[in-house]
Chains A and B, each alone.
Chain A
Amino acid sequence: MAPETTQPNKPDAQEEMGRLRFMAQFTVAAGSFVGLGLVIPLLATLWPRPELLNANKGWSPISKDEFDKLKASLDKPVKIHFTKKGVIDGYLVSDQDYYVWGVHMTSAEEAKFRQERSDLFTPKLLGDVTFPVLTMGFVLFSSICPHLQCKFDWDDSLRAFLCPCHGSQFNKYGAHMKKPDGSYIGPAPRGLDPVPFREQSGIADVEWVKYFANVPYRMIVSYS
């Protein structure tokens, strides 16, 4: 019965085909619209916002005692402790204690430093140090080994910074030390990393920066 009623009207069959095609296309289009409409904003939520990437950038004051310690450190490097207030870690905020290694140099030593650490003063393609490294004869080094981010210590008998993890040695100026045969002592890819330091009318500030590990150039990756 049914075929007989539709057979005379061929245009109807075509119309039916068109209707089917429209429904199929509409389903795909609406589905894609809803799907992409969800997926794109959802993927965007995974991307950290700039305020997270640059969180915690800023100066921390060095206490008077610590600054006096730095001033008196002409014979050997000293640890300079400071507290960074309100360090943001996602939704958590806390005060964090850090330390850097401070070196106080005479003007003769400053010249030696510029010579030994010429990499810090020459512009490079990648990883320039964009802040003044030497301020009034003071240099502050990050306490993190540039190899794999261990904490190193000053060894008085070696007269060198010695990293306990893989044995890299750095002299007072932070230069990666060499053996008599010219090869480096330990696997560090670069000398010690300087951190920004400033002094204004007797008040000293330090900026905690963390560099990318195990590469010969210096790239700041975070401020906490």
Chain B
Amino acid sequence: MISWIEHRTGLISALKEFLTEDIPGGASYWYVFGATTLILFTMQVVTGIFLTFYYSPSAVTAWESTRYIYEHVTLGQFMISLHDWGASAMIIVITLHLLQVLVFGAYKRPREIQWVVGVSLFFFTLVLGFTGYLLPWDLNAYYATQVGINIAASVPMIGTYIAAFLNDGSTLGTLTVSRFFGIHVWATPALLIGLIGLHLFIFRHNGPAGPPSDHGPKTIGRFYPDQIFLDTLVAFIAFLVVVALAVYMPTPLLPKADPNYGGFIPAPAWYFYSLYGVLRLAPAGVLTLVATVVLPGVFALVLFLLPWIDRNPSRAIAKRGFMMGVTSITIVAIVGLSLFAAKAIDTERKASPAGLTPVAGLGAPRVTPSPVAVTTGASAPAAAPDGMAVYSANCASCHGASGQGLAETFPPLAGNPFVTGDPKKVIAVVDNGLHGAITVGGKPFNGVMPEWKDKLSPAEIAAVINYIRSSWGNKAPPVTEAQVKAVK
């Protein structure tokens, strides 16, 4: 049977040829990152293909179809979370792969081109991350991409053209989603697959670099089965970790993107935190440009040209003190900037939590799914306002996403007897606002509650009061729109 196939295809000898490869110095855990990246990438392709069966890229359907996947597709939330965590895992592992090659000096002659192709793969992976981030079209996707495009737009001379190209026009809108979809789903993966082929072809041409030493190792190991076993083991563990994260920490979906939304604090994907940290630290003006464009640009250029910049012929770590020093400082700087950005975003989000309560995924407060069909266009009946949406848009920035309030200024709504008490009084406070010192639960508060009667419709006021009277442990009978209208 095997020889029958071999005669007609040559596949068996090709596989043997592929598996037969000497590993100088023997198989090692140091060499597993490339193969693990490839396996994670394959997983991303597969989960991505399944997501396209449901996802629809336009401003009126992107968020709705994503929510549909969460709520009405069998294991849909798991599939989305697997794709999201898989992306994070791929970025981590490809970075480890890059660092291993860097530390082992494996980018040096004759592997310069292989390194350049590898660095391209790294940056195209980041392109996948950036373009994929917009697709759910929730508040965070929208505003984080807005910041990203704003940064690109600040490149001198050509910035406005880059922004126009990314937006496909002057604003982030429906054409931007379909453009990012095309880049994320077709252009970049196709390019990536070609470059992976090239990367592997050159790898086989040069052979593995082996341990970081200037003398060839005495022992020779086998690729199959020794290294393949280690690769499989680590990739399997990575797979289990990603699955566990997807199950226990499903990716949250925030409320739909809204260009007129106030006070939302966007956060980029964690792997762009360092860039965001630079943006936040840089003073306004020309220095912003240096920080957001020049610095990352120089970083990318140095990474690409490293085999020609680092002229030190030795691969031994002990003889490459300068290179190791620069690498360590860069890692510390990137981690430090990321932590700084994480802290800044966290602080700001605590102060202004508007829009941060997810609709689905980790942290979503309710499990009742939305109706299957999403009404659009002229045939849409006037839907009842969503109390939670009204709350997160207007109230959460002071009273907190879970009604916890803010010490001395804004009273908590959770467990507040006034909130669950006389509906007329609650309606009156929402309608007309409240000034001056009050006491809730024995603690003093003195803030300003604005008037809402001109800003929200009676239906919205009823919806939000029902939301606060039935959330965070509060249990009080609902109020009706008619009751709201009756209170002046």
Give the interface of A toward B (CB within 8 A): 46-48, 52-55, 89-92, 96-98, 148-153, 155-157, 164-166, 187, 189, 210, 212-216, 221-224
Complex Cα–Cα for A48 and B265 (A):
29
Q: A92-B60, A216-B284 are in contact. Are A151 and B174 (CB under 8 A)?
A: no
| B348 x A90 contact (CB < 8 A) | no
Q: A89-B174, A92-B59, A92-B174 are in contact. Are A164 and B147 (CB under 8 A)?
A: no
| B448 x A151 contact (CB < 8 A) | no
The 8 Å CB contact of A215, one of B60, B154, B174, B397, is: B154
CB distance from B228 to the nearest CB of A (A): 38
The 8 Å CB contact of B153, one of A165, A210, A212, is: A212
| A166 x B260 contact (CB < 8 A) | no
Identity of the chain B residue whose Cβ is nearest the Cβ of A223 in the assembled complex: B170
Is B225's beta carbon under 8 Å from chain A?
Answer: no
Complex Cα–Cα for A215 and B151 (A):
10
B163-184 interface code vs A (CB 8 A; 1 in, 0 out): 1110111110111001100000
The 7 lowest CB-CB distance pairs between A and B, nearest first, are A151-B262, A222-B170, A52-B169, A90-B175, A89-B173, A189-B284, A90-B174
Complex Cα–Cα for A152 and B352 (A):
12
B36-56 interface code vs A (CB 8 A; 1 in, 0 out): 000000000000000000000
| A216 x B285 contact (CB < 8 A) | yes
13 residue pairs of the A-B complex, CB under 8 angstroms, read: A46-B168, A48-B175, A53-B169, A90-B175, A97-B260, A151-B260, A157-B448, A164-B354, A165-B263, A187-B284, A210-B171, A215-B154, A224-B171
CB distance from A97 to the nearest CB of B (A): 7
Is B480's beta carbon under 8 Å from chain A?
Answer: no
Identity of the chain B residue whose Cβ is nearest the Cβ of A167 in the assembled complex: B351
Which residues of A lie under 8 Å from residue B163 when comparing CB positions? 221
Which residues of A lie under 8 Å from residue B397 when comparing CB positions? 164
Which residues of A lie under 8 Å from residue B169 when comparing CB positions? 48, 52-53, 55, 90, 222
Identity of the chain A residue whose Cβ is nearest the Cβ of B349 in the assembled complex: A165
Most buried by B among A148, A151, A155: A148
Which residues of B lie under 8 Å from residue A48 when comparing CB positions? 164-165, 167-170, 175
| A90 x B168 contact (CB < 8 A) | yes
| A165 x B448 contact (CB < 8 A) | no
Identity of the chain B residue whose Cβ is nearest the Cβ of A150 in the assembled complex: B263
Is B340's beta carbon under 8 Å from chain A?
Answer: no
Is B261's beta carbon under 8 Å from chain A?
Answer: yes
Identity of the chain B residue whose Cβ is nearest the Cβ of A156 in the assembled complex: B448
| A52 x B175 contact (CB < 8 A) | yes
CB distance from A56 to the nearest CB of B (A): 8
| A98 x B284 contact (CB < 8 A) | no
Identity of the chain B residue whose Cβ is nearest the Cβ of A46 in the assembled complex: B165
Complex Cα–Cα for A90 and B168 (A):
9
Complex Cα–Cα for A221 and B169 (A):
10
Identity of the chain B residue whose Cβ is nearest the Cβ of A91 in the assembled complex: B174
CB distance from B187 to the nearest CB of A (A): 10
Q: A213-B150, A215-B288 are in contact. Are A90 and B352 (CB under 8 A)?
A: no
| B174 x A165 contact (CB < 8 A) | no
Q: How many residues of B contact A (CB 8 A)?
A: 39
Identity of the chain A residue whose Cβ is nearest the Cβ of B292 in the assembled complex: A214
Q: A98-B260, A165-B352, A213-B150 are in contact. Are A222 and B171 (CB under 8 A)?
A: yes
Complex Cα–Cα for A47 and B263 (A):
33
Complex Cα–Cα for A215 and B293 (A):
14
The 8 Å CB contact of B59, one of A54, A89, A156, A223, is: A89
Q: A47-B165, A212-B150 are in contact. Are A89 and B171 (CB under 8 A)?
A: yes
Which residues of A lie under 8 Å from residue B60 when comparing CB positions? 92
| A214 x B284 contact (CB < 8 A) | yes
Identity of the chain A residue whose Cβ is nearest the Cβ of B397 in the assembled complex: A164
| A151 x B261 contact (CB < 8 A) | yes
The 8 Å CB contact of A150, one of B150, B167, B262, is: B262
CB distance from B177 to the nearest CB of A (A): 9
Complex Cα–Cα for A40 and B148 (A):
27
CB distance from A57 to the nearest CB of B (A): 10
Is B122's beta carbon under 8 Å from chain A?
Answer: no
Which residues of B lie under 8 Å from residue A189 when comparing CB positions? 284-285
Q: A89-B174, A90-B174, A215-B284 are in contact. Are A151 and B263 (CB under 8 A)?
A: yes
Complex Cα–Cα for A89 and B170 (A):
10
Complex Cα–Cα for A166 and B153 (A):
22
| B147 x A148 contact (CB < 8 A) | yes
Complex Cα–Cα for A157 and B164 (A):
41
Complex Cα–Cα for A96 and B171 (A):
14
Task: List 4 additional A-B contacts (Cβ < 8 Å) besides A164-B397, A165-B263, A187-B284.
Answer: A48-B167, A90-B59, A164-B354, A189-B284
Is B95's beta carbon under 8 Å from chain A?
Answer: no
Which residues of B lie under 8 Å from residue A54 when comparing CB positions? 170
Complex Cα–Cα for A155 and B264 (A):
18
Complex Cα–Cα for A46 and B187 (A):
13
Among residues 262 to 278 in chain B, which have CB atoms less than 8 Å away from a CB atom of chain A? Answer: 262-265
| B288 x A55 contact (CB < 8 A) | no
Complex Cα–Cα for A148 and B179 (A):
24
CB distance from A151 to the nearest CB of B (A): 3
Which residues of B lie under 8 Å from residue A149 when comparing CB positions? 143, 146
Is B125's beta carbon under 8 Å from chain A?
Answer: no
